[in-house]
Each structure stands twice: as structure tokens, then as C-alpha cells.
A = this chain, B = another copy of it.
């Protein structure tokens, strides 16, 4: 079984989940339209961070499948579970954007962090499974190592950010953004 149709389905879920994020963005608060538009910056930032995060996962998922020669059924089902997490992201993003500055800020930030954490765990499971069973015969050892090294910190980073959310919603939100930027920039090492 080739990975081609998995790619189509996965690309669909990535693209739709990322694009649906915009439905969470709306005018916020009262006052003039200009004021409401400026006031929406938290929602725009949440949109951007989640879109970037999904985008990076798409780029990395791409990198994984390139190293695999085929897919088997457990791999497809693991991917369905992973994509279930990806498609879930618009909900914690909406909760975080709506409540970051209010009473429920920490609860919203913890929820967002837990969602990212589970997603990162599934991502690593997919990679570990694929790396051990489905690697192409001509897969490049250095790229494989680079991918493993790049994915490893994700779980820890989101765990730390989630724990920070118990104390400060704003600090954890900054961390979520920083993790996205970190992956955008650091990733350039392993795919050239």
C-alpha cells in the first residue's frame, strides 16, 4: 500500500482544520468597528499560532512520509487518531482566544496545552512506528536521525507550557507561540 492516498486525506484534514480556524475569529467587545477590529488581536494571534502549528505539522508529516516506502493498516489508523487531534485544534484555539484575558484564562490555556500535548505524542508515535517498520530501503540515515532529534523535544515543550498554564495563562500562550516559531526556524536544519 503506497502512502499516496494517506497524503491526500491528511493534506485535506490539515488544510481544512487550518482554514476552519478563521471561523473562530469575530468582532469582539463593543465600541466602534475600528476598536473591535483592534480588540480582536488575541483572536488573530491565536489563529496565527494554531495555523502555523498545523502548517509545521503538515511540513513535518510530509518529511516523515518521504522517508517511508509504504503504509500498512496500523499506520493508517494511527494517522486517523493523529488527524483526529489535528482536526480538534480549532476548539481549544477558540476557547483560548475567547477566554485568555478573562477569568477562565488558565483553564483555557491548560486545555490548549493538553490538546497540543496529546497531538505531539501521537506525532511521535507515528514517527516511531513508521521509522521501525515502514522505512524506505534507501532512506537517508542522517535525515532519519535529524527528524527524530527534531520531534523529540515537542512533547516536553508542550508539557512545560501546560504546567506553566496552571500559573499564568499569558505566559503559557507566549510559550505556545514561541514553540511554533522555534519549529518554524529550527526545522530548516533537517530538510535541505
Measured CB to CB, the residues of A under 8 A from B are 1, 5, 7-9, 11-23, 25-27, 32-34, 36-37, 47-48, 51-52, 55-56, 58-59, 62, 66, 72-74, 76-77, 80-81, 83-84, 87-91, 95, 99, 102-104, 107-108, 111, 184, 187-188, 191-192
Rounded to whole angstroms, the CA-CA distance of A51 and B188 in the bound complex is 33
A25 / chain B contacts, CB cutoff of 8 Å: 88, 91
The answer to whether residues A73 and B192 also contact, given A11-B9, A15-B9, A22-B88 and a CB cut-off of 8 A, is yes
Grouping DSSP codes into helix (H, G, I), strand (E, B) and loop, the A interface class, with mixed when no group exceeds half, is helix
Rounded to whole angstroms, the CA-CA distance of A99 and B27 in the bound complex is 11
Rounded to whole angstroms, the CA-CA distance of A21 and B91 in the bound complex is 10
Interface contact A32-B103, CB-CB below 8 Å: yes
A13 / chain B contacts, CB cutoff of 8 Å: 15, 18-19
Rounded to whole angstroms, the CA-CA distance of A83 and B36 in the bound complex is 24
The answer to whether residues A1 and B55 also contact, given A22-B91, A32-B107, A48-B84 and a CB cut-off of 8 A, is no
Rounded to whole angstroms, the CA-CA distance of A91 and B32 in the bound complex is 17
Interface contact A14-B18, CB-CB below 8 Å: no
Could you name 13 residue pairs across A and B whose Cβ atoms are closer than 8 Å? A5-B11, A20-B22, A25-B88, A27-B95, A36-B104, A51-B84, A52-B81, A55-B80, A55-B83, A59-B76, A73-B187, A73-B191, A74-B188
Interface contact B34-A104, CB-CB below 8 Å: yes
A33 / chain B contacts, CB cutoff of 8 Å: 95, 99, 102-104, 107-108
A87 touches which of B12, B18, B37, B91 (Cβ 8 Å): B18
The answer to whether residues A17 and B14 also contact, given A51-B84, A87-B51 and a CB cut-off of 8 A, is no
A95 / chain B contacts, CB cutoff of 8 Å: 27, 33, 37
